[in-house]
Copies of this chain bind each other. A is one copy, B any other.
Amino acid sequence: MAFSYSCGFQTPKISFKCNPLVYCGRRFNSGPVYACIKNMDQEPKFKLLLDSVKWDEKGLAVAIAQDVDTGAVLMQGFANKDALLKTISSRKATFFSRSRSTLWTKGETSSNFINVCDVYLDCDRDSLIYLGTPDGPTCHTGEETCYFVSADDVLNSSETEEKKKVLTTLYALESTIYGRKEEKASPNGKPSWTKRLLLDDNLLCSKIREEADELCRTLEENEDTARTASEMADVMYHALVLLAKRGVKVKDVMEVLRHRFRQSGIEEKQSRQG
């Protein structure tokens, strides 16, 4: 099996009748691009794709933009045929604005584009995922994602400033650890374990080495797989504390992994080293 990573459309192998540079550019001139899209939809491959989508009675499908590195759902809009074609040709997440009845590329005002590496259709073919990397915060409020209001907070009339954001497990853990980092040490209270790790580099590093060793021993001593998962969780947690100590985000690590895949592959890199 070829060592492949799915991020990155293959360049569409069609002969554009308009300047192909327009398709790769960071910004569009909406007139000419739109004209090109009009031609694109006659290309057999694109026609096949467009015909495979079940557009609703208004010619729309739900389009969900997701961060390829973190998995965060960044925003949701609707796409029509032109929005999908423009997303594929420009690699910038583009939607159809129902209120303004126009195409709308996320970032055309803020420059916070979402760089789409692939588009997925669901089993019903009426819902799309734009998988990509955001140039900056996606939400117009400055939040990373548009989903930052928890129904639980609304129900419990939570008036604290620290709202619950939509965070999946790894990023919820990261957020908690960063929260600990910001805490002032209490002169009387016993500091939390995370705080102790954050304050004591020797303790933190000895724990990381210890947990990595314990993870290895689950293999070497053929322990049960639940033990492997548990030790890996220990490694992750302690390593995340080190990342927080250094101000590195999990997202940064995922970006490194993604670039290694795409550029030369971890294996090539490692085989050169090994």
Binding site for B on A (CB under 8 A): 1, 3-7, 9-10, 12-13, 45-46, 48-49, 52, 62, 64, 66-73, 75-76, 84, 88, 118-125, 127, 129, 131, 139-141, 143, 146-152, 154-157, 162, 164-170, 172-173, 176, 179-180, 183, 190, 192-194, 196, 201, 204-205, 208-209, 211-213, 215-216, 218-220, 225, 228-230, 232-233, 235-237, 239, 242-243, 245-248, 252-258, 260-261, 266-268, 270-271, 274
B residues less than 8 Å from A216 (CB atoms): 204-205, 208-209, 242
**B155 to A12, Cβ gap below 8 A?**
yes
**A246 to B218, Cβ gap below 8 A?**
yes
**B151 to A123, Cβ gap below 8 A?**
no
Given contacts A120-B150, A205-B216, contact A257 B5 (CB under 8 A): no
Given contacts A166-B131, A242-B215, contact A256 B271 (CB under 8 A): no
**A235 to B228, Cβ gap below 8 A?**
no
**A123 to B143, Cβ gap below 8 A?**
yes
Which of B52, B141, B213, B252 contacts A209, CB < 8 Å?
Answer: B213
B residues less than 8 Å from A139 (CB atoms): 123
Chain B min CB distance to A189 (Å) = 12
**B228 to A246, Cβ gap below 8 A?**
yes
Looking across the interface, which residue of chain B has its beta carbon closest to that of A76? B127
**B10 to A68, Cβ gap below 8 A?**
no
B residues less than 8 Å from A157 (CB atoms): 45, 48
Given contacts A154-B49, A157-B45, A271-B192, contact A70 B233 (CB under 8 A): no
Which of B3, B66, B149, B213 contacts A121, CB < 8 Å?
Answer: B149
**B122 to A147, Cβ gap below 8 A?**
yes
How many Å lie between the Cα of A127 and that of B145 in the bound state? 12
Chain B min CB distance to A133 (Å) = 10
**B267 to A69, Cβ gap below 8 A?**
no
Instruction: Sort A-B residue pairs by CB-CB distance and give the 8 closest, nearest first.
Output: A71-B71, A212-B212, A119-B151, A205-B216, A193-B267, A122-B146, A193-B270, A233-B256
Given contacts A129-B73, A151-B121, A257-B237, contact A67 B242 (CB under 8 A): no
B residues less than 8 Å from A211 (CB atoms): 212
How many Å lie between the Cα of A176 and that of B262 in the bound state? 13
